[in-house]
Amino acid sequence: DQQVKQNSPSLSVQEGRISILNCDYTNSMFDYFLWYKKYPAEGPTFLISISSIKDKNEDGRFTVFLNKSAKHLSLHIVPSQPGDSAVYFCAPQTGANNLFFGTGTRLTVIP
């Protein structure tokens, strides 16, 4: 039972342009929604999060949007940089601090 889906396994973007990564979920009980970035041979690294009571959170080049009625969130990176190339995981969280990871989207930023 996949509660979290990232339907795009990969995404390629030119340096300087916007990267948009999408995530859909089914469980309306999630309290927070986190994004993690993962480089090869390393563990996931926390990037940004949003509370279920908000619809937008911004941190520098990274902005996360939440549409609760559609059970959809997205991560915007602008401008994209080659160092952003990694696998990005959407990870909704319950009140018990349980994370449910999506399957990930591999972002490649082309110089």
Partner 1 sequence: DAGVIQSPRHEVTEMGQEVTLRCKPISGHNSLFWYRQTMMRGLELLIYFNNNVPIDDSGMPEDRFSAKMPNASFSTLKIQPSEPRDSAVYFCASSLTRGGNQPQHFGDGTRLSIL
The residues of the shown chain that bind partner 1, judged by CB under 8 A, are 31-32, 34, 36, 41-46, 49, 51, 89, 93, 95-99, 101-104
CB nearer partner 1, residue 38 or residue 76: 38
Query: In terms of DSSP bridges, do strands 86-93 and 56-59 run parallel, antiparallel, or are they unpaired?
Result: unpaired
Report which of 69, 80, 58 is spatially closest to residue 25, judged by C-alpha positions.
69
Tokens in use for 12?
């390629």
Look up residue 78 and give its amino acid: V
In the complex, what is the shortest distance from the CB of residue 109 to partner 1, in angstroms, rounded to a whole number? Answer: 23
In the complex, what is the shortest distance from the CB of residue 44 to partner 1, in angstroms, rounded to a whole number? Answer: 5
CB nearer partner 1, residue 18 or residue 31: 31
In the complex, what is the shortest distance from the CB of residue 15 to partner 1, in angstroms, rounded to a whole number? Answer: 27
* Cα 73–chain centre separation: 8
Contact present, 103 and 7 (Cβ < 8 Å): no
CB nearer partner 1, residue 1 or residue 28: 1
